[in-house]
Amino acid sequence: MTDSDSGLEPAPVRLAPGDPAPEFTLPDADGTPVSLADHRGRRVIVYCYPAALTPGCTTQAIDFTAAAGELAEAGLDIIGISPDPPEKLLRFREKEELGITLVSDVDKEVLRAYGAFGPKKLYGKEVVGVIRSTFVVDGEGRIEKASYNVKATGHVAKLRRELGLG
């Protein structure tokens, strides 16, 4: 069971604080292009999740939506990236009443650039797929914080504490 085009996925890159954040322009749930560069001057939480409308990803998106106001006041925007097409992201946003930006990376190029796609353990088996990850990008477009293999439940609260917000 793989998500990979070739079945042979190289080990993902790992971004670290100080690295330039990979630039991207991806369609949101409405098909409108969203670029990381559009947020220059503000910090951005870029979070990568496996699939819309699944239990863990729904929990995480609802938690980010609940924290969005506080995060915006602290100068942080939120962008969620998944390999889902925009139509599925629209259904996800509407069904769960999400108030955050969700973008589509169906080719998984941006997910790979962030090190958020590759081999991972799932229920004890090695599979290839999206590695749930969160990044804080500073106002100049550099990685401030990179977290890989995060848990969906409780992650947003932990991130808020790490950012001195909760």
pLDDT tens for 63-79 read: 999 999 999 999 999 99
pLDDT tens digits, 104-157:
999 999 999 999 999 888 788 888 999 999 999 999 999 999 999 999 999 999
Domains and CATH numbers, the chain: 25-161 (3.40.30.10)
Mean pLDDT of the chain: 93
Q: Please state the length of the chain.
A: 166
Active site residues: 57
pTM of the predicted structure, to 2 decimals: 0.91
Buried b (16+ CB within 10 A) or exposed e, 72-92: eeeebbbbbbbbbebebbbeb
pLDDT tens digits, 76-112:
999 999 999 999 999 999 999 999 999 999 999 999 9
